[in-house]
Structure 1
Amino acid sequence: MVVTRPAVRTLVAAAVISIAVGVAGCAAAVAPANTAYAADFEDARVRATSQFEHDVLADGKITRAEYEEAMQRFVACANDNAVDVSLIEQAGYFVYSVTAASSDSDAVMAACQVGNNQFIEPLFVDQLMNPDKKDIDEVIAHCFVAMKVVPPPFSKADLQRLFRSAGIVTYAVTGSSAAPLDATGVEVDEAAKAILDSPDASNCQANPSYDLLVSGDGG
């Protein structure tokens, strides 16, 4: 099975959560230090339990090499405990392919995250996807335009309409609550579905800042 970490999004489409699309040249991706994530780094430094984590988090940024090392440490731990974990590249970050030899794989993976990728992984991926902590739906909409998936102008509301037209139930998240934007009873627009199924649209959904990754502005 493929396990993805929770996406940093206020718009979630169930059909695209586990998209696995490789990105050429993403080894240079860096989650740069910036004020938007300063509090997150400080919290992670306080909660970190290993010297490795403290060393990575000390300068307020996470390089691709540091992220990969954290992930490899996690994988090695899981594999040593009879859980076969492989990393799959997805739009600049990793998702997991997991084959468990026992029913306690979730517990093993949770334990192996501690001291390794517990804080480094989410911080790297969150910054990669949304470096300025903007409204994530607007970031996705911008990516759709930048990657020429749709012509401008194209807004957050247009994005939500596109998902509903494709028959996908999405969620508008406000604070801690999530209200479903119900697509029940909506006739599926095959043209809308084709747009969302296109490679660049899939990449923008997997990584809302995919356009920055492609252009080289993402680190």
Structure 2
Amino acid sequence: MTKRVFGVSSLIVLALLATGCSASGSDDTDSGKIASSMSVLFEEALAGEVNDFERAVLERGVEDGRIGQSDYAEATTMYATCMSGAGYALERTDHLNGLIEFQPPALTASQEIDDLMAMDYECMSTTGGNVIRLYELQQGNPSLLRDTATVAAECLAASGVVPPDFDKEDYRQAFSSDGKLSELSFDVTDPRVGSCLYGIGVTVGIDE
């Protein structure tokens, strides 16, 4: 699950709109879950290519069943420092669920965007990318559900921005209006909405 979508469209920018994308190769399809636990995902990540920082954090995660907020904060700081060193001044948003979203300055030329994406990949790969993506999954989808529309709908209902009976079909319908903000039943600029959406890998941008 990628969290850094740097493109811009007309009114609403949506990335990974509740299509059940997973953050790893885990497959717990019978239960409708990405994996049986976060520890399973940590072990999978450890079996791949990780740096010393990531290894230490993930090994603690296997024992504790979760990644600590301080480790996530350190990972995001390293990532932002890497991007800054490459000349990208990132705008930071601290979401209500503890997740940190970074957005770069607006870019238009395709080569500029390609260069940005390449640097984003490099910085994520060489700092704490595995820690970042797994912590964001842990916080944004604690039940590890494959159906992220359900995750988003439950979060929005729990936050009070939609009625308690708001479900995944309502969520999907809400974003089937061709980007017409006036047709949504809630304000996408509400921090509670941003927190729920970013928690499932959706980032929203509005063209003024």
Asked if the contact 2:94/2:100 (under 8 Å) is kept, the reply is: yes
Q: Secondary structure at the match of 2:163?
A: coil
Greater Cα offset, 154-163 or 133-142? 154-163
Counterparts in 2 of 1:112-127, with a 5 A limit? 112-127=123-138
Q: Secondary structure at the match of 2:104?
A: strand
Question: Among the aligned pairs, what percent are the same residue?
Answer: 23
Counterparts in 2 of 1:12-161, with a 5 A limit? 15=12, 17=14, 35-60=36-61, 61-91=66-96, 92-99=98-105, 103=112, 104-134=115-145, 135-161=147-173
Q: For residues 17 and 90 of structure 1, do their structure 2 counterparts lie closer, same or farther at Cα, with a shift above 3 Å needed?
A: farther
Aligned residues: 162
Q: For residues 111 and 154 of structure 1, do their structure 2 counterparts lie closer, same or farther at Cα, with a shift above 3 Å needed?
A: closer
Q: Secondary structure at the match of 1:39?
A: helix
| Cα shift at 1:122 | 0.6
1:172 alignment partner in structure 2: none
Structure 1 vs Structure 2 CA RMSD: 3.2
| Cα shift at 1:84 | 3.2
Amino acid at match of 2:188: D
Amino acid at match of 1:15: I
Q: TM-score, normalised by structure 2?
A: 0.63
2: distance between equivalents of 1:131 and 1:201?
A: 17
Matched, 1:193 2:184: yes
Comparing both chains, which one has the higher relative contact order based on Cα–Cα distances under 8 Å and sequence gaps of 6 or more? 2
Greater Cα offset, 151-160 or 67-76? 151-160
Structure 2 unaligned regions, length at least 5: 6-10, 16-34, 201-208
Structure 1 unaligned regions, length at least 5: 7-13, 19-33, 170-187, 209-219
Q: For residues 62 and 160 of structure 1, do their structure 2 counterparts lie closer, same or farther at Cα, with a shift above 3 Å needed?
A: same
Asked if the contact 1:48/1:119 (under 8 Å) is kept, the reply is: no
Instruction: List per-residue Cα deviations over 1:165-199 (Å, max 9, x = no partner).
Output: xx147xxxxxxxxxxxxxxxxxx694x42424362
1: distance between equivalents of 2:50 and 2:128?
A: 11
Greater Cα offset, 66-75 or 40-49? 40-49
Instruction: List per-residue Cα deviations over 1:100-123 (Å, max 9, x = no partner).
Output: 9x9433333322222312211110
Higher strand share: 1
Matched, 1:5 2:4: yes
| Cα shift at 1:94 | 1.8
Which structure has the larger Rg? 1
